[in-house]
Amino acid sequence: MNYFNYFTEIEDAFVRRRGKNLLLSPLDWALIDAWRERDIPLHIVLRAIEAVFEIFDQNPRPRSIKSLMFCREEVEAQFAEWQASRTGAASDTQTEAAAGIPVDDIRAHITDTLTQLRAVSREELEEDLLRACSRLEQLAEELSDDPETADKSLNDIEKFLEEAMLERLDKQFLKSFEKETAKQLREYKSGMEKDAYEQTFRLLLLKRLREELGIPRLGLFYL
């Protein structure tokens, strides 16, 4: 699949079947991110969305489909079937997101990321931000013609910053965002597996923290 189109393809499919110009919510984006991190193939997600809307069209209900969460169970079911059918086969779900990206574009992405990180003002994260910037500077100096290696390094730095946010931010500050995230997921929690809920909660929480603090995504997927 085209890794760079993962988000937009899913959004386009949902909006097209929805029949209205309805923007995805932060929860929907977090759900897509969770599917992507679990390497659920794009074609599985798109097929599940189509299946849900076909069933809905055959049996209209008073309430319309307003969120991708309505498609979550079907995505999980079709993914489980797909995995079972591939038992013993070599996995090909790992994408080649970075392939073909010019080195100059990667370097520009790192430079832009450094600018954004240096503008973040949060005392608890000062040391971690300095370390992240130092690692990015070193990566830019040692950049080769292997974008996949650069992408791995960028994602490692991103994970380092994510852990820093969750561990070092003021507890009251963090708690307010945790409450907000739990509220957004409340109506869906009972229908979600524990692991799926926890992963979606974490992704949505981190998304809100990055937005609040001005911390960018680092991976080449976001270039």
Residue in 211, 184, 214 with CA at minimum distance from that of residue 200: 184
Residue 94 has pLDDT above 50, yes or no: no
Question: Taking a C-beta distance cutoff of 8 angstroms, is the pair 203, 84 a contact?
Answer: no
DSSP annotation of 88: T
CA 180 to centroid of chain Cα atoms: 18
Q: Which residues are CB-contacts of 113 (< 8 A; sequence separation ≥ 6)?
A: 136, 216, 218
State the pLDDT at residue 87.
Answer: 60
Q: What percent of the chain has pLDDT over 90?
A: 40
**For residue 127, what are the CA distances in angstroms to 46, 77, 168?**
42, 44, 10
pLDDT band, very low/low/confident/very high, at 137 (cuts 50, 70, 90): very high
- DSSP designation for 12: H
* Domain locations in the chain as residue ranges: 3-85, 103-222
Mean pLDDT across 95-123: 86
pTM across the whole model: 0.72
Residues 6+ apart with CB under 8 A from 194: none
How many residues can be counted in the chain? 223
Q: At residue 104, does pLDDT exceed 50?
A: yes
* pLDDT band at residue 110 using 50, 70 and 90 as cut-offs: very high
pLDDT value at position 98?
55
Classify the C-alpha dihedral 128-133-134-139 as positive or negative. positive
The number of beta carbons lying within 10 Å of the beta carbon of residue 172 is 7
Question: Which of 46 and 25 is assigned the larger pLDDT?
Answer: 46
| pLDDT at residue 90 in the model | 41
The span from the CA of 51 to the CA of 48, in Å, is: 5
**DSSP label of 192:** S
Model confidence pLDDT, tens digit, residues 26-35: 888 888 888 8
pLDDT one-digit tens code per residue, 185-197: 888 888 777 887 8
CA–CA separation, 209 vs 174, rounded Å? Answer: 8
Give the Cα separation of 148 and 144 in Å (integer).
10
Contact call for residues 191 and 70 (beta carbons, < 8 A): no
Q: Are 24 and 11 in contact (CB under 8 A)?
A: yes
